[in-house]
Structure 1
Amino acid sequence: MNWNLLIQLLINGIIIGTLYGVVAMCFVLIYKSTRVVNFAQGEFLLIGAWTCWALLVKFELPFYIGFPLTLAFMLVFGILLQVVVLRPLIGEPIISVIMVTIGLSMFFQSLMGMLFGGFARPFPTVFETASVNVLGLQIQTAYIMSLVISVVIMIGFYYFFKHSRTGLAMRATAFNQQVAQSLGIPVRHVFAAAWAISAMVSALAGVVVGMVNGVSSALSFFGIKVFPAVILGGLDSIIGSIVGGLTIGILENLAEFFDAQWLHIGNMYTIAPFYALVIILMIKPYGFFGTKDIERI
């Protein structure tokens, strides 16, 4: 057994798992405040990555300027998306809003393809050293940056929902919009804040993945890969999204290792999380930390 490869893949799994956890928290953020599952989440990563790429390549801005500008753009983008497209749907059946997010996913993917083409573009060099030697293992510098930022974001999300007034307002709005309005909570502002934060944080993940793998339409598939992490952790649990993200990140890298060493099936890296999703949901239908819905007649 190649122990060095196994340890390398486990570390990669933990690092990419924290990134999955961050994007999963964006799913949870929107769901907790609006009860809507956003199927355009992967496109937020794609738009953020292409925006940062354009600022660095087309406008030749340094990364320390282009990256904050990208986050600011995505913050405004999320607000405008909610105000222009989604706000008129407040009060409509949830399935209608979900179908709109699916339509947005197709629209944004086509728009990015029209603007930037269908081929992958390498991200400009951001760090002087592409990888760092940690205990004899080579780890991408971008992944180390993402690990640090992801941990900070996770702590920030936990504090945001547990202690901040806006986070508590989001939880109240998700529980019952009419009751929240009667208590003076500005529901429309809550919705806009949820989509803005989700777009901005997703863009951060898109930039990190783009730095490692290049920017292409394949980035939008990242949202689908994260969905098992959301379901495993529980659709309304911040802690669950972190655990689910780490679980999926480690599982897919372990699947790649065992496939390369013994199974030789191919593509196990992609499909292993979905197998795990089916098996775990058969045991725990609400995920690891999901809230059980009990209805009495």
Structure 2
Amino acid sequence: MDWLFFIEVSLAGLGSGALLSLTAIAFVLIYKATRVINLAVGEVLMLGGYLFFAFAAGLGLSAWVAIPLAIAGGGLLGAVVERGMIRPMLGESPIAVFMVTIGLGSVIVGFVELVWGTDPRALPAVMGNAPIFIGEAYISRKIAIAFAIAAAVILLFVLLFRYWRGGVALRATATDQAAAYSCGINVPGVFSLAWIIGCAAAAGAGILLGQIGGISPTMGVFGLSALVVVIVGGLDSVAGALVGGLVIGLIESWAGTYLGGEYKIVTTFGLLIVTLLIRPYGLFGTAEIERL
């Protein structure tokens, strides 16, 4: 076995896994606060890449201006969706809200195709192409930088949840909404905050993913792999999103390299099925027992 090649494949898998973890956090944030599975996260990720393209290539703005604008655009979309579509659905059946997010994803794809067309595009490069070596192992510069940025953002989220007042309010709301209300927490405001941060994180992940492989209206499929991550790791667990993303990234990288690209999805969803059979609430998720 060529161990150097194996290490290089594994490093690439960890880079992809970090992006999966960052995208999965968007699912977890929204679900923890609102109990809504936002299936449009992948499309918000895709829109983030296109917003960066519009600001950087279309308007000619500096990448350091275009990046925060694109992320802010994702957050603004999250605020509008939560206030205009999700909040009026409070009290409705979960499947009805779930279908709203599916429809939202289709609308975003249609909007992108209408404005930018269906052809793949390359984003203005901001990371460079010089290779990085860890010992003798080669790793793409873009993947290494994406891993570092995703890891830093995830660490920031963990610290904010632990020490920031808004993060504490989010955790309290996720634990017990009625108790949060009784403590004076603005629960609707927490809902909006979760959607804003979640969609902004997805948009940022879209920029990183677009830097590596370009953008296209179909890149929202990446969100399906991230959904597998949160189900395997636990829908309400930030730690599960982190660990699950890295594990899925490694497994997809190994399967794609040693078995063939067509086996990546088969392996990923096979792991999903096994996990659901053994631990339906995920590796780190909260086990909920309902008594009839």
User: Aligned match of 1:286 in 259, 281, 285?
Assistant: 281
Deviates more, 1:191-200 or 1:121-130: 121-130
Instruction: Give aligned pairs, total.
Output: 292
C-alpha separation in 2, matches of 1:167 and 1:94: 25
Q: CA RMSD in A?
A: 1.7
Tell me the percent identity.
36
Residue pair 2:232, 2:244 contacting (<8 A) in 1 also: yes
Deviates more, 1:89-98 or 1:188-197: 89-98
Deviates more, 1:177-186 or 1:51-60: 177-186
C-alpha separation in 1, matches of 2:265 and 2:290: 36
Q: What residue ranges of structure 1 are gaps of 5+ in the alignment?
A: 261-265
The reply to whether residue 174 of structure 1 matches residue 174 of structure 2 is yes
C-alpha separation in 2, matches of 1:62 and 1:187: 37
C-alpha separation in 1, matches of 2:210 and 2:258: 27
Q: How does 1:35-184 map to 2 (within 5 A)?
A: 35-184=35-184
Cα deviation, 1:131-158, whole Å, max 9, x if unaligned, reads 3333233322222222122112222222
Residue pair 1:6, 1:257 contacting (<8 A) in 2 also: no
Question: Does the residue aligned with 2:59 lie in a helix, a strand or coil?
Answer: coil
Task: Provide TM-score, normalisation by structure 1.
Answer: 0.93
Question: Does the residue aligned with 1:291 lie in a helix, a strand or coil?
Answer: coil
Q: Which residue of 2 aligns with 1:275?
A: 270
Specify whether residues 91 and 183 from structure 1 end up closer, same or farther in structure 2 by C-alpha distance, changes over 3 A only.
farther
Cα deviation, 1:229-288, whole Å, max 9, x if unaligned, reads 10111111110111110110001111123215xxxxx50122211111112222222211
Structure 1 stretches of 4+ with a deviation exceeding 6 A read: none
- By how many angstroms is 1:5 displaced? 2.5
C-alpha separation in 1, matches of 2:131 and 2:204: 19
Q: What residue ranges of structure 2 are gaps of 5+ in the alignment?
A: none
Task: Provide TM-score, normalisation by structure 2.
Answer: 0.94
Residue pair 2:127, 2:145 contacting (<8 A) in 1 also: no
Cα deviation, 1:182-239, whole Å, max 9, x if unaligned, reads 3221111111110110111111110111111111012110111111110111111110
- By how many angstroms is 1:130 displaced? 4.8
Q: Which residue of 2 aligns with 1:209?
A: 209
